[in-house]
Amino acid sequence: MKLGVVGLPNVGKSTLFNAITKAGAECANYPFCTIEPNVGVVAVPDERLNVLAKMYNTKKITPAVVEFVDIAGLVKGASKGEGLGNKFLANIRETDAIVHVVRCFEDENVTHVDNQVDPLRDIETINMELIFADLEAIKKRFDKAFNMIKTGDKKYKIEADFLQRLLDHLNEFKPARSLPCTEEEKEYLKDLFLITSKPVIYTANISEKDMDKNDEDIPLAKLVIDYAKKENAEYMVISAKTEEELSSLEDDEKQIFLEELGIKESGLDKLVKVSYRVLGLISYLTAGEKEVRAWTIENGTKAPQAAGKIHSDFEKGFIRAEIVDYDILVELGSFNAAKEKGKVRSEGKEYVMKDSDVVLFRFNV
């Protein structure tokens, strides 16, 4: 899973990236301090792995991972090459989802590219540039399909009609992801690799002094929340500066700090959960003395394909999956105990994996 962290210059984007990845991206009070995309790979927080590691006396824990890409700040005119627009647009096409950081704090010591904090204007600036970039790409595809209609092949007429509908939608300044599509059209849309077809998580970056308030009671954040709801997009409220402080603490200190702030989980925990949800992902678990591991799959994946995440031979020679629910395994204390109690299920090729599954695959090649 690769998430692109984007936003206008000086909205706290790189501060947030530093905090969640501890990768040390340069962060300064001027535009474009992030020129090449910084990449950080972070472990997905999953307390289940620690519990299983103790149960199996495991020496190695391998969590699922998320790759964050901190992409250069965008400005008005990026689709025409302004600022670092071309670099930005090329990098963002390679991500699975977009974390759109929006400034929702006032600070006279941190300049704003437009000299005034206005979350809705900032959102529209970036969204417009992404739509313009997609329009340019689709126009080329449409011209090619339209010219091929004269061959008499019906598929080009169908393609051109869909692309025309998509062009009209984008010209109304609506993102591609909001275009009503049939299942077949959704697959075709996916193959177009449009920026505005990617899911977005609007991330309101608030001041530290607003951390004790309800999200909806922070006026600037409320604007972002309402915008996201109107678009049926995911959103979260976070303080990048607070996350930066958290990232420098040990786990036990971090927990105390969170409790003092009255926060149940860190911004990274929230962000990962939201990211999994928007991309339709889950993690199943494998456990043994050598390793306890989380494997990321799409929700709805069947057992053989899930086994293939471990090794292609597992999928080719799949016989069955021996599965126990995580909570039951922890309650009974071991896989063998769960088996004796009849709690280990034998599932075949049509079984759809669940997030709570601890699994042992049987295969033969």
Is the pLDDT at 124 greater than 60, yes or no? yes
State the pLDDT at residue 111: 59
Residue 63: closest CA among 250, 295, 269: 295
Cβ atoms of residues 126 and 113 within 8 Å: no
Confidence of residue 23 (pLDDT cuts 50, 70, 90): low
Give the model confidence (pLDDT) of 164-176 as tens digits. Answer: 999 999 999 999 9
- Answer yes or no: pTM beyond 0.75: yes
Classify strands 97-104 and 2-6 as parallel, antiparallel or unpaired. parallel
Is the pLDDT at 266 greater than 70, yes or no? yes
Amino acid present at 345: R
State the pLDDT at residue 28: 45
Cβ atoms of residues 113 and 31 within 8 Å: yes
Confidence of residue 29 (pLDDT cuts 50, 70, 90): very low
State the pLDDT at residue 72: 65
Contacts with 140 (C-beta within 8 Å, 6 or more apart), sequence order: none
Alpha carbon distances (Å) from 280 to 87, 183, 252, 301, 356: 28, 16, 31, 11, 15
